[in-house]
Structure 1
Amino acid sequence: MARPRKPLLSIDRIVRTARELVDAEGLAAVSTRRLAAELGVSGPSLYNHFRTKDEILEAVADSVSAQVDLSMFEDGRDWRTALRDWAVSYRAALRDHPNIVPVLARGPGRRPAALRLADAVYGAMVDAGWPPARATSIGALMRYFIMGSALGSFAGGFVDDADAYDPADYPRLGQAHLLADRQERIDERAFETGLSALLAGLAEQFGRVREESAGG
């Protein structure tokens, strides 16, 4: 009988396997040797598709950027609603793949999906009437906010030991040990609170921009 063929090694398969490894064990777990073993191939086989480990991680990061919905910038939603919906989608992608956030935080570089994302946000803001320089600032601001929300958990930073926070030292942290058990709900609420405040502030600025434009 013919021996079963091994699955063909492809960029998609390498990236998918590397992403699963990053999700499960973090960035430090990824090496060309480990990845080759996971794929059932020899190490040199990877070099037909990627020259370095960093290139693989860049591709993993871009595969996560590709999961972010951009349709809200194309279907007629007003700029404020579009930014909100996009931010929620972006954070969801990062929440599902938190270990790759440090790579994403370096910026889009040459990654195609990340560049499409930046182009969509900037273009939508300019089309809505924001001056180009302000549109650039909005893109940066949203990126800082969303990335920051995904880099760590406020609630998860407290231990669940009731004796850890002595009232004599921290008189207002008597319930802090309960936060860890409510981590997801607290972080979600914090993100929503911050996003609403951010968008309200931008809407106020936009009103002034329109007034300046009308007067000039």
Structure 2
Amino acid sequence: MKQVGTIGLLVWMMVGCIHSKEEINPLVEEIAYDIPKINILATNPDITKKQNGDVFYHDLPFSGYLVERYPNDSLSLKIGFYDGKQNGVMTSYYENGSIRYIRPYLNGEKHGKHVGFHKNGTKAFEYHFVDGFSEGNHKEWYDNRQPATDMNYVNGKEFGRQQAWRPDGKVRSNYIVRENGRRYGLMGIKRCTKLDGVTQSVDPYKGEEQ
């Protein structure tokens, strides 16, 4: 009986350890595909990329990771693929090894929570996507932790409260988008950027594009 109790305790500890390990990085949502742990340089001549974004290795759909490196051989970018399509997590690093951004993909589309960081380690952005389209709240920050933007989306389109601030904390724009698509409030001065495949007028911080 004592032995059974000991075995049960060991199993519980193992499960507990596995669960804790998964919780170490809460930034990345679980991706369904089990990507092989194969790393190939993106510059490999046997790698080809089709017009639709699919990647092939030796003329076969690629499953694994494409990697890019800095001149000092430290990892710059790691992109997951399954059956030719971008899947899993795309991770970018600064030259000192710290994470620049983490972007999960599913079937070639942005999917889940995308998070980026400034060189000093402070959070730069947090976006949410569903099947390639912006969904829910998108936030951006300056490297001093000052808020830069606070945007909201439904099916890839702005909806609800949209706010942006200058580096000094002053309001740059503050408006609401209603069901009819009309905007009400202070629009501010905005620049154009490509978001969800469509050029829209937004006012993000000077950094990663959405």
Same fold (TM > 0.5) = no
**Structure 1 length normalisation: TM-score?**
0.24
Structure with the larger helix share: 1
Structure with higher Rg: it is 1
**Structure 2 length normalisation: TM-score?**
0.25
Structure with the larger strand share: 2
